[in-house]
Amino acid sequence: MAGKCSSTCPMRTEWVKGNAVGSGSFGVVNLAMNRFTGELFVVKSTSTEAGFKSLENEANILESLNSPYIIRCLGQDFSKEANGERKLNLFLEFMAGGSLSNVVEKFGGSLDETVICSYTKEILHGLAYLHRSGIVHCDIKCKNVLLGSSGNIKLADFGCAKRKNSSKLDKVQKSSLESISGTPLWMAPEVLRNEGLDFASDIWSLGCTIIEMATGRPPWGDLLLNPMAAVFQIACSNETPELPTKFSNEGLDFLAKCLQRDQKMRWTCEELLDHPFISGNRRCSCEKDACSPTSVLDDGLYEENYASDESESPHKEELQSRIPFFTRSSSGRYRMARRQHREIDLQSSENWITVRSG
């Protein structure tokens, strides 16, 4: 949706806030409903100066974008709470499937490689659009990638995003572009060394996000309990995150193209879209175990069934290819091990915050 977010902004008397569906460093995300039409959307709310800056940046970025792979901004306003607290509210499109981190957790702790291929392709389309628009997302991870009920993917949370078109930047904006933004375990080495942001930084984060989808754990998961050691290893060593053990050769090669420590060696979005892992000229190592469920109940397909209002609806065949079926044999084989690690992973990852500076 191009144009200013405020063009379709709901008036304060026209919407009602529902239950919280998420939270972040800026504040809380709630489900919301239009009082007159019943339309569902989400509202991000904050009452802190840092939160105002983050949400205003997100609104400014989103108002200039128009892509089926980017979350739509529906408007923003200020409200006054009963205690006199002033809040900034940002209204955003509702995605019924939630974040990919939620999806991974609900479907056994990891995704099948064929599903990862499908999701990665759409993430790449979103990143390619952003990079053509001169924007670096700066915080690509499963939590910031949302899933629609039909399996369509959209990039979200642009609070850290930065414009890279130097011809339109003043000194303050250029300084902001050089500042650190994102979540440390997903950050590229050059970003943690404070050497500046580039489109290649998003590609490193994409590689880390694929590892997250495949393993159910953050990249560098063995260093979760030692944040300083993790930051030092990412920034200064010659190592890369541990790769998924059950990935195909094409998948491992794709990750190698994303996780080049020299940012000049990383492939671009356009190059990665032509890689066999994405283009379809491949055979996953998991295909020999794959089978379709005998009924919807086999894989708990969706708890909710929301219709998509997306203007550029995918073809039926594309929708069918996105449905997140998982191989019974692989999900059963590793479910116990993943369950043992999941609780400590979730607890320890709470110590990691999203950095929003500049």
Whole-number pLDDT of residue 202: 98
How does residue 100 score in pLDDT terms, banded at 50, 70 and 90?
very high
- Per-residue DSSP letters for 173-199? HHHHHHS-EE-GGGS-HHHHTT----H
Q: How confident is the model at residue 331 (pLDDT cuts 50, 70, 90)?
A: very low
Active-site positions read 139
Which pairing describes strands 73-80 and 181-182: parallel, antiparallel, or unpaired?
unpaired
DSSP state of 312: S
Whether the per-residue pLDDT at 178 is higher than 80: the answer is no
Q: For the chain, how many helices (H) and strands (E)?
A: 12, 12
User: What is the reported pLDDT for 163?
Assistant: 93
Q: What is the pLDDT of residue 282?
A: 54
Confidence of residue 213 (pLDDT cuts 50, 70, 90): very high
Q: What average pLDDT score do residues 223-242 get?
A: 90
What would be the CATH architecture of the domain defined by 10-93? 2-Layer Sandwich (3.30)
Q: Which tens digit of pLDDT belongs to each residue from 71-82? A: 999 999 887 777
Kind and range of the H or E element at 146?
strand 145-147
Please give the residue that has the higher pLDDT: either 274 or 341: 274
d(CA 239, CA 41): 42
DSSP 8-state secondary structure symbol assigned to residue 17: E
pLDDT of residue 30: 94
pLDDT greater than 70 at residue 4: no
The yes/no answer on whether domain 98-304+322-328+340-351 falls in CATH 3.40.50.2000 is no
- So what's the pLDDT on residue 8? 56
The full set of domain ranges for the chain reads: 10-93, 98-304+322-328+340-351
Are the C-beta atoms of residues 109 and 43 closer than 8 Å to each other? no
Q: What is the mean pLDDT of residues 167-187?
A: 60
Report d(CA 333, CA 35) in Å as an integer: 47
Q: Whole-angstrom Cα distance, residue 273 to residue 125?
A: 8
Give the residue, 323 or 136, on which the prediction is more confident.
136
Spatial distance between the Cα atoms of 103 and 130, rounded to a whole number of angstroms:
24
CA-to-CA distance for 251 and 261, rounded, in angstroms? 18
Q: How many CA atoms lie within 13 A of 239 on its CB side?
A: 13
> In the predicted model, is pLDDT for residue 306 greater than 50?
no
14 pLDDT higher than 60: yes
DSSP state of 70: B
Q: Given a cut of 70, is residue 296 above it in pLDDT?
A: no
Q: Write down the pLDDT at residue 219.
A: 95
Model confidence at 291, pLDDT cuts 50, 70, 90, reads very low
The reported pLDDT for the residue numbered 338 is: 47
Say which range, 5-14, 210-219, 258-267, 325-334, has the weakest mean pLDDT: 325-334
Check: CB of residue 251 under 8 Å from CB of residue 272: no
- The rounded distance, in Å, linking the Cα atoms of 116 and 282 is 13
Q: What is the pLDDT of residue 137?
A: 96
Q: Name the 3-class secondary structure at 297.
A: helix
What percentage of the chain reaches a pLDDT higher than 90?
57
